[in-house]
Structure 1
Amino acid sequence: MADNAGRVAIVTGGSGGIGRAVAERLGTEGYSVVVHYAGGKERAEETAAAVVKAGGRAVVAGGDVADERAMAEVFDLAEREFGGIDVVVHTAGIMPLAPIADLELETFDRVHRTNVRGTFVVDQLAARRVRAGGAIVNFSTSVTRLQIPSYGAYAASKGAVEALTLILARELRGRDITVNAVAPGPTATPLFFEGKTQEAIDRIAGMSPLGRLGEPRDVAEAVAFLAGPARWVNGQVLFVNGGAA
């Protein structure tokens, strides 16, 4: 914990699912965490309380990830409350599912506004404000390799996230800041379970040689690795899927 005392992280989408697991995991290592939320303030406050219980410090901040002014305020809060920013973990995203032939263009635009523009906004702020020795961790998905039907819009948006990640890593040459993406496989979160039958859930869980869905804590372990000790891992997409892809 001593190594991370004084390190500050922003976790977008920290009110639930993988974001909450990441925030709590960083809390166990002594980070001060800004728990960002889009619409679930009460759940974000629960996450913040869990971070404090785990050994860190925490505040909450709301805002649309695709709104540059709202997100600038989140970064301002981190600097005001904790003195700077060392790690930005951008988990926030949406995942409406439909075959490409059936998906409404309005929905497609909404996916890309949140997942692509939102990543660009957060990464741009992070590139300007993260301190030397820091890390930026974006979120892609293993579906970019699994090619599961109905995930077209979502996978396309995450392909863009991977491109932004790999290019930003090279643009930050000389800054001692790593930029990577985590690409989870099927993970047991409310977002994953929504709209799926038990048969579909079991079939997807069976894609992994380990025979189960991932848990948010599995992904959080990978993020903690990239956020802290993995200083020689840079410009990479780390697949965290139990061998499913």
Structure 2
Amino acid sequence: MPARTLKDKVVVIGGASKNLGGLVARELARDGAKIVVHYNSDSSRDKAEQTVADVKKAGGDAFAHQGDLTKVAEVEKLFDAAVRAFGKVDHMVNTAGMVIKKPMTETSEEEFDKMFAVNSKAAYFMMREAAKRLERDGSIVTVVTSLLAAYTGLYSVYAGSKAPVEHFTRALSKELFGRNISVNNIAPGPMDTPFFYPAETDDSVAYHKSSSMNGDLTKIEDIVPYVKFLLTDGWWLNGQTLFINGGYTTR
């Protein structure tokens, strides 16, 4: 089996302007990947353009594309843009997500609908569109959450809206038999990013830290090697959810 590399491979990354998605883009660029840097809103435009500049500086190629991934037409436009610019798509990594933390009794219908739109619907149609567009020997990776293996309250609509992605992954990985495309999830522990802190208190942050093997939160730098692995040497792993969390939860 020839070595699998990222040289000249086209990777569409959902939520790539900052945090985990931004670091994934920069690290894949070191191996010569071509990156489609998706971002959601005007407020992220500058960071997306900075990610593009960083990718090119690292030896890859990139462009930024804005879109609301909860709208199927905009997911399709994202992949259209990738094909127009680079001629193909080899891999898809979706890091986009949203979190709220509150009791189920206080969760509104609007909050429920928004969380499922971002964490479930957008993931589904990113996977669907990737399945239509990917070249043979590609990979699809979606970021979920280690709370899928936790027994806890307050995250019902967050973890609940991520949970369907596990079944989407199993189903799609089976449907793509014959094309040698792997489909997997990465479930990080609570990550030390601005995404995490607004939903937490000092006490809950301390609790999350105490639940890992080294008393700290997951770093985005801890997750990127596993994304890269799934796009290259980890191609034989398929239909799985990897809990990358320092022992925060197990299953």
Q: Match for residue 111 of structure 1?
A: 115
Partner of 2:175: 171
Cα deviation 1:107-163 (Å, max 9, x = unaligned): 011100111110111111001000001000012110011233211101111110111
For the aligned residue pairs, the C-alpha RMSD in angstroms reads 1.4
Confirm or deny: 8 A CA contact 1:11 1:36 kept in the other structure: yes
Which digits, 9 at most, give the CA deviation of each residue in 1:139-194, with x for residues without a partner? 21100112332111011111101110111100101011000000011110111011
Counterparts of 1:194-233 in structure 2 under 5 Å? 194-233=198-237
Q: How does 1:53-68 map to 2 (within 5 A)?
A: 53-68=57-72
Kindly provide the amino acid, as one letter, of the partner of residue 39 in structure 2.
Answer: Y
Cα deviation for residue 19 of structure 1 reads 1.0
Work out whether 1:24 is the aligned partner of 2:29: no
- Give me the whole-angstrom Cα distance separating, in 2, the residues matched to 1:114 and 1:148: 22
CA–CA distance in 2 between the matches of 1:224 and 1:176?
17
* Alpha-carbon distance in structure 2 between the residues aligned to 1:152 and 1:159: 10
**Normalising to structure 1: TM-score of the pair?**
0.96
Which residue pairs with 1:102 in the alignment? 106
Worse-matched range after superposition: 47-56 or 167-176: 47-56
Alpha-carbon distance in 2 for matches of 1:3, 1:238: 21
Whether the 8 Å CA contact 2:173–2:182 is kept in 1: the answer is yes
C-alpha contact 1:139 1:161 (8 A) present in aligned 2: no
SS of alignment partner, residue 218 of structure 1: helix
State the secondary structure of the residue aligned to 2:114: helix
- Identity score, percent: 36
Q: Which of the residues 63, 88, 91 maps onto 1:84?
A: 88
How far is the alpha carbon of 1:199 from its aligned partner?
A: 2.8
In structure 2, how many angstroms separate the alpha carbons of the residues matched to 1:196 and 1:127?
A: 36
Provide the rounded CA distance (Å) in 1 between the counterparts of 2:151 and 2:18. 26
The residue type equivalent to 1:17 in the other structure is N
- Structure 1 Cα separation of the partners of residues 87 and 157 of structure 2: 38
* Divergent runs of 4+, >6 A: none
The letter of the residue matching 1:209 is: M
Q: For 1:114 and 1:132, how far apart are their aligned partners in 2?
A: 28
Shift of 1:2: 9.4
Larger displacement relative to structure 2 (200-209 or 123-132): 200-209
Call closer, same or farther: CA 1:150–1:143 in 2, change over 3 Å: same
| Residue matched to 1:144 | 148
Q: Could you tell me how far apart the structure 2 residues matched to 1:196 and 1:180 are? A: 28
Kept in 1, the 8 Å contact 2:141–2:186? The answer is: yes
Q: CA separation in 1, counterparts of 2:141 and 2:218?
A: 19
Q: Distance in 2 between matches of 1:226 and 1:150?
A: 31
Structure 2: which amino acid aligns with 1:238?
L
The match for 1:182 is: 186
Aligned pair partner of 2:40 in 38, 42, 53: 38
Whichever residue aligns with residue 16 of structure 1, its letter is K
Q: Is residue 218–residue 245 contact of structure 2 (8 Å, CA) maintained in 1?
A: yes
Q: Which runs of 5+ in 2 are unaligned?
A: none
User: Post-superposition shift, 1:218?
Assistant: 1.1
Which of the residues 73, 76, 80 maps onto 2:77? 73
